[in-house]
Chains A and B, each alone.
Chain A
Amino acid sequence: MSTVTNDDFKSYLTPFNIVTGLIIIAGLIVTVIRFTGGLGAVTNLDDNYPWGIWISFDLLCGVALAAGGYTTAAACYVFGFKKFHSAVRPAVLTAFLGYALVVLALHYDVGRPWRLPYPIFVQQGTTSLLFEVGLCVFLYLTVLFMEFLPTLFEWTGWRKLRDALVKMTLVLVIFGVVLSTLHQSSLGALYTIAPSKLHPLWYSAYLPVFFFVSSIAAGLSMVIFEGSLSHKYLHRMMDSEYNKNHDDVVLGFAKGCSWVLFGYFALKMIGLTYDNNWSYLASGFGAWFLVEMLCFVALPAFLYAVGARDKNFALIKWTAILTVLGIVVNRFNVSLVAFNYHLPSEDKYFPAIMEIIISVFIVTVGVVAFKFISTRMPVFFEHPDYKGQH
């Protein structure tokens, strides 16, 4: 008997498991320090920088990158691109996990996490854009959960519940698009209250529009990016239907994303002209702004177009990575780099190592959960009992 357990144990010691295991242990240790010593014990936050990478990365980037859920579902069910159908489940699962992790991350960031339901259930600050973000994220997480449930019920074999939920798909999808539009844009709108703190090149009354439009590009690129990752590592879980459509999805999304990025670029230029900020381009911040606009918006827009035209899948995948990176750069610029631009550099914020550990920890938890679910439940393949019934 003992040899059997030993072998079992050995088979778990894959490099993947060792690394994730170490990260999770480190994360748990920092968790204990955070919740016993307060925010000051693990972060470099201060009175000038109340928001650090937990907001910039975990919340702002996390929500943008989880936009694949609503974009894919809308493309398939509302706009009738049926060939994207096979991409809906992985995208919905990613979005659901993404939002769940955003909420988890918020527990670390806010001072009294057990009061997170207060704005909804105790006292509403309806003049606050953060209230809108909170309410939408809460509702959308519920919607995503309901969109995900059929997958779970097919796995457990609860046909009646599953069928009832599948009937609601369209309503859920539309509800999801409304909620996503609202909170994706509100995340940008959060910063409209602080014109004196955000550098003029990034501050704009159009911030909500910028955040919303760029979230579409983020969502589409994440679907391509994850699709290719899963393709590589979870290939055995995919049925021929998924594989057959995969190329169509990638090409379609690349084309769509190219358009969105071109549109986003144009919008940013309109904003720049409208606020008459061209003169700032000559400064150091201006150079950085140009890097963001040219390398992370214009370039991927162009590369996507070429990739889609030439059916160059390798190029499309690299472009997806570039776009995702560009979204991260943009969110970091708005919330950290260009924020408090007037402060002397010694007062600027740089994340503490323990803050980074928590962010990595949360991403890792997401990857593990994704792997667990997608290797067990009908995510990349159609359940044999429910073929063609979506």
Chain B
Amino acid sequence: MKRRSFLGLMGAAGAGLAAPAVAPVTARAAAKDFRGYHDTPGVLFDGTRCIGCRKCELACNKVNSLPEPEVPFDNLEILNSRRRTDSATFTVVNKFDTPTGPVYRKNQCNHCLEPACASSCFVSAFQKNSDSAVDYDETVCVGCRYCMIACPFEIPTYEYHKAFTPRVMKCTLCGPQMRSGELRLPGCVQECPMEAMIYGPRNELLNLARRRFAAFPGRYVEQIYGEHEMGGTSWLYISGTPFSQVGLREDLGTKSAPELTAGALAAVPVVVGVWPVLLGGIYAINKRKEKIAAQEQQQAVSAALAKANAEAKETLAATLAKAEESANRRVDNEVKKAVKEALAKKEEELKAAEASATDEEEGK
């Protein structure tokens, strides 16, 4: 019995998965309470079984109708150079030389449980599906390529040479083909001659991996890559050599992408809420300062004015008084003068009268 699928093995448990007639519910990938990925499907890749035959690459190319590769799939020479996914290749197998001989590892989108690509896309072009596939919607993609910056596994690629309809390209976990019933298993899983991959519920795959660790002591590094990395992935890897030696980074941490950016996003409402109040307050204080300063200035001005007024009045009064005095004096003088003059006149008249009287007496 072929064990590349758990479905056959587990009958009822896998029934729901085997019959994807039920429309998959899209779960918002970055929602805070994203749950339910424990019984969602995944793929377990066993590095101790892979022989680097590139059959999975061929299958992927067929299933997704990708362009013919430059180097045909039966040419294994190419394994001597390190390759990555590109817009015409959704999966690659790389050869790693280790002390115990060559080790092969397949690389493709890991269909993260909380994908960095989905969390980073500003038009929500990526969605994590309930059938585990991380879907991409090219009808809304703007082509900013932030998803490519964000993906820790360096998976999304871009059609740089298309002028009008460039797309982000990556493995789909054969989501579309399986939903339409065209495929029962992802193309690569189906084609692998070594059963290096097994498709099934993620929690079952984790158990299976642990059973293999127990069954073959010393064969594996007893750790499951993808169980916790970056919040966990739907693809899981077990290997006989340390993961970092087969191109899987072990320094990614367990924080998912949404967790990494949560702090910065949480700051938004704080800034929106606090800044206007704070700035408005500072403005108000400054305005008030200005107003008080203006008021004080006004007060100073009016005080000065009042003082000037009072002073002016005083001077006026003094001047007036002085003027009056001098006027009085002048009147006095005038009067005196007039009196004097009048007196003088009278005297003269008297003298004249006297004189004429004497004249008359002499003339007789």
Contact = CB atoms under 8 A, between A and B. Distances in A.
Contacts of B289: 80
A49 B271 CA distance: 32
Interface in B90-140: 116, 118-125, 140
Interface in B264-284: 264-265, 267-268, 271-272, 275-276, 279-280, 282-283
B148 A116 contact: no
A47 B169 CA distance: 10
A178 B268 CA distance: 10
A111 B279 contact: no
A40 B122 CA distance: 23
Interface in B4-28: none
Contacts of B158: 39, 45, 47, 50, 111
A131 interface: yes
Contacts of B264: 129, 185-186, 189, 192, 208
Interface string B23-61: 000000010000000000000000000000000000000
Interface in A103-117: 109-112, 115-116
Interface in A8-59: 35-41, 43, 45-48, 50-51
Contact of A205 (B149, B263, B275): B263
Contacts of B257: 193
Interface stretch (A120-128, A223-231, A254-262, A305-313): A120-128
B261 A192 contact: yes
A190 interface: yes
Interface stretch (A71-79, A213-221, A238-246, A280-288): A71-79
Most buried by B among A122, A130, A186: A130
Given A39-B160, A79-B282, A193-B116, A132 B265 contact: yes
A118 interface: yes
Contact of A119 (B84, B122, B258, B280): B122
Contact of A196 (B124, B144, B152, B275): B152
Contact of A78 (B143, B144, B160, B283): B283
Interface stretch (B231-239, B246-254, B343-351): B246-254
A197 B124 CA distance: 23
A390 to B, nearest CB: 15
Nearest to A117: B142
Contact of A130 (B120, B154, B276, B280): B120
A35 B162 CA distance: 10
Contacts of A130: 120-122, 144, 146
Contact of A47 (B86, B146, B275): B86
A88 to B, nearest CB: 15
A123 B286 CA distance: 42
Contacts of A36: 163
A125 B122 contact: yes
A123 B123 contact: yes
Given A129-B261, A182-B271, A118 B283 contact: no
A13 to B, nearest CB: 36
A194 interface: yes
Contacts of A128: 119-122, 146
5 contacts: A47-B157, A127-B118, A178-B272, A178-B276, A194-B116
Given A78-B283, A178-B276, 6 more contacts: A36-B163, A80-B289, A118-B142, A128-B120, A132-B265, A196-B252
Interface of B: 30, 84-87, 116, 118-125, 140-146, 148-150, 152, 154, 156-166, 249, 251-253, 257-258, 260-261, 263-265, 267-268, 271-272, 275-276, 279-280, 282-283, 286-287, 289-290
